[in-house]
Amino acid sequence: MPWLAISLEMDPAPADALSEALIEAGADSVALEPAGERVRVDVLADEGADAGALLAAAAQAAALPLPAFRTARVADEDWVRRSQAQFGPIRVAPNLWIVPSWHEPPDPSARVLRIDPGLAFGTGSHPSTRLILNFLEKGIQPGQRVLDYGCGSGILAIAAALLGAGEVDATDTDPQALETTSANAARNGVAVRVAAPDRLPPGTYDLVLANILAGPLIALAPQLAGRTRAGGRIALSGILEAQAGEVLRAYAPDFAVAVHARDDGWALVAGERR
């Protein structure tokens, strides 16, 4: 089927923030490419989508002015060809690679997570995803119960399962994300239980992960705290460094929390449940 393609150019930091907000607002795929000192943002949406309304919603969520943009129609096969040319294997942690299905793993001895660019955010290329994947590789304990809140493509939940988690749940408000996570988990041969937020099983988790945006993370603080056991940990990403203080204040009542790592203007907030 044909798609609506939206293109615009921005400075790097706001482009990163807008890319995540676009996915939250309903875009099917967002890709960033260097364009001199700026970044080109290529957005893919359903053919019938309202480009102006989509961008306005995303800009408002990211606290950015509405940018100028261009639109075009893109045939499905052209998008697949462009995606395959753009995305290759990505080393996201010392022993963890994200590898699209059309590539062979560069390091056969490393753990490989098979994720194709598609209709849910999360290919491993974004700094916010790299931050939390590095956290997982260094800090996950065998047998832990893990929740990936706002799972997108399922990349965090699948990585947790590959790295030894005993029980992994993944949730998202977007039904398409739930379908994508289920398919990606099956492709990687791991067990991930997928459910909408109101259908999650009861109980708390040893580790709660969320790679969303600062605004939604702040609003979700009570809910995510309620899902983390006493002494359990939380890891939050999708946070610009300038927004980290607000997120820390939102979680401080329930967690001993701090900025754990930084990458290219993005911050990972992590801590332990009191």
Task: Classify residue 75 as exposed, middle or buried by CB count within 10 Å of its CB (0-12, 13-18, 19+).
Answer: exposed
- Given a cut of 70, whether residue 142 has pLDDT beyond it is yes
Strand partners, 41: 8, 32
Domain ranges of the chain: 3-80, 122-273
Please give the Cα distance from 162 to 255 (Å, whole number). 27
pLDDT of residue 83: 53
Asked if 5 contacts 43 with a C-beta cutoff of 8 angstroms, the reply is yes
Range of lowest pLDDT (8-17, 83-92, 99-108, 118-127): 118-127
Q: Calculate mean pLDDT across residues 114-126.
A: 62
33: part of which helix (H) or strand (E)?
Answer: strand 29-35
Q: Calculate mean pLDDT across residues 222-236.
A: 98
Asked if 200 contacts 150 with a C-beta cutoff of 8 angstroms, the reply is no
171 or 39, which is more confident?
171
**Tokens linked to 219:** 């609003």
Asked if 47 contacts 3 with a C-beta cutoff of 8 angstroms, the reply is yes
Q: Please measure the distance between the N-terminal and C-terminal CA atoms of the chain and give it in whole angstroms.
A: 50
- Given a cut of 60, whether residue 106 has pLDDT beyond it is yes
pLDDT of residue 266: 87
pLDDT of residue 119: 44
- Given a cut of 60, whether residue 137 has pLDDT beyond it is yes
Q: How confident is the model at residue 77 (pLDDT cuts 50, 70, 90)?
A: low
Residue 162 CB neighbour total at 10 angstroms:
19
86: part of which helix (H) or strand (E)?
Answer: helix 76-86
Residues 6+ apart with CB under 8 A from 182: 154, 192, 194
129 or 199, which is more confident?
199
Query: In this predicted model, what pLDDT tens digit does every residue of 27-63 receive, in sequence order?
Result: 877 877 778 788 888 888 888 899 999 999 999 988 8
Sign of CA dihedral 266, 271, 273, 274: negative
234 or 123, which is more confident?
234
118 or 248, which is more confident?
248
Q: Calculate mean pLDDT across residues 54-83.
A: 80
CATH architecture of 3-80: 2-Layer Sandwich (3.30)
- Given a cut of 50, whether residue 126 has pLDDT beyond it is yes
- Given a cut of 50, whether residue 251 has pLDDT beyond it is yes
- Given a cut of 90, whether residue 191 has pLDDT beyond it is yes
Label the pairing between strands 3-10 and 205-211: unpaired
Q: pLDDT averaged over the chain?
A: 88
Q: Does domain 122-273 have CATH number 3.40.50.300?
A: no
Place of tokens 């800009």: 59
- Given a cut of 80, whether residue 258 has pLDDT beyond it is yes
Do 3-80 and 122-273 have matching folds? Answer: no
Short-list 255, 200, 266, 245, CA closest to 225: 255
Label the pairing between strands 167-171 and 193-195: parallel
